[in-house]
Chain A
Amino acid sequence: MEKATLEIDGISSYNLNLLNSAGIPAQPIKLSEYHLSVKIPSNMLKEARAVLEKHNRIYREKGLTGLKRRIVTFLTSYTLIAGMICGAVLVWLYSSLVTDIEVAGLSEITEESIISAVLHEEKLPVFYDNLDNEKLRNAVLNVEGIAGATVRREGTRIIVTVSEELPKVPVKDTQTKGNIVALTGGVVTKIVVVSGTAKVKTGDTVRPGTVLVESAVYDAEGNKTGEVVPEAIVEARVWYSEILEYPDRESYLEQAARDVQTKKDAFTAGLPKDKIFITYWVKESSNDKSVDKNRKISIYFEVIQSIAA
């Protein structure tokens, strides 16, 4: 049975008799003439309080005894110890584990590519004893555009410091004295010759390989006076085409309209910066010679781009 302890001041025999008169069984623990320490059943604590207060007794409750007290004692003492042990374990774990990656020194390359290269080699969290910095460094060096890297541990983090490769500068050939030819066919819209002799003019239609600017230079009479390294800006209207084919049936036009729009969107979205989209048009034809007489939709995209090579 769970018991509560009461400490009651005053004449002990009187106080015991008070408890008795209220029908409360008591087990004195300490008994002196003017001080009584007594155990009573917990379920009679309320009656005990009532009778002691009714008779103006000075008393203190010392808390529960029995199973509940033992549980409370256990929870307060062992929980504290368990908490301290858990805390110590957590501190140890926290100080022993590497949980994060920090990358420094990036400008062009994304942090994600470095982190993924590191994580490919080592899954986090990892005990720092198991960490192989050299292996991680090699993984980082394998990332494209990385010239150098250092890997070190700092607390719970891996610090990766990288230096990127210098950007590739386009090399311009200033020695070879060759002609500038058209890379692709089109109608010349602009030609600016810095050195050399222009062989085409605005409005000319050129084919791939057509000489645009010659390395030879001539005098007013047309006599060749020498050769230079030609340099020029040549732009032209260029057409690209795509062909869609449909079986000969009534509803193909509806489908073709959707396909043309999709093709146009895809073409303009994928256009490089040095090409300027002008317009597009569609031409329809049927393949009458074919057995199934299928329908053909040709899409022409018109762009302006540099054609000089």
Chain B
Amino acid sequence: MFIDEVMFKLGITPDGSLGGDRVSVFSGRGVFVEGHKGIVSFSDSEIEIKLRGARLKLSGSGLSIKEINPDEIFIVGQVVSVVRE
């Protein structure tokens, strides 16, 4: 299934003007977060990322921030859970 189709089914416009964020989980090996607002806390086992109006809590083991830029964060490690609060 293409991401565009997913977005369509979720009612999100292709330009992402919903103003939200997007979290992509890759088989538990990494997480790609778009539209973040910064890191709240991190450790090997837990990383908390600030999103607009929410927080994203990643749990797992060997977690580390591979790359971060103003819009995106790429986290690698054994991701066990992704919780949006």
Contact = CB atoms under 8 A, between A and B. Distances in A.
A25 B67 contact: yes
A25 B72 CA distance: 9
A87 interface: no
Contacts of B39: 13, 16-17
A201 to B, nearest CB: 127
Interface string B10-41: 00000000000000000000000000001111
Contacts of B40: 13
Contacts of A26: 67-69
A16 B68 contact: yes
A31 B66 CA distance: 10
Interface residues of B, number: 13
B42 A27 contact: no
Contact of A33 (B43, B66, B68): B43
A21 B70 contact: yes
Interface in A16-39: 16-17, 19-21, 23-28, 31, 33
A231 to B, nearest CB: 118
B68 A31 contact: no
Nearest to B49: A13
Contacts of B67: 25-28
B69 A25 contact: yes
A172 to B, nearest CB: 111
B68 A20 contact: yes
B22 to A, nearest CB: 17
A31 B64 CA distance: 8
B26 to A, nearest CB: 18
Contacts of A24: 69-70
A28 B66 CA distance: 6
A298 interface: no
A77 to B, nearest CB: 29
Contacts of A31: 42, 64-65
Identify the 10 closest CB pairs spanning chains A and B, nearest first: A25-B69, A17-B38, A13-B39, A28-B65, A27-B67, A20-B70, A23-B70, A26-B68, A16-B39, A16-B68
23 contacts: A13-B38, A13-B39, A13-B41, A13-B42, A16-B68, A20-B68, A20-B69, A23-B69, A23-B70, A24-B69, A24-B70, A25-B67, A25-B68, A25-B70, A26-B69, A27-B67, A27-B68, A28-B64, A28-B66, A28-B67, A31-B42, A31-B64, A33-B43
Interface of B: 38-43, 64-70
Interface of A: 12-13, 16-17, 19-21, 23-28, 31, 33
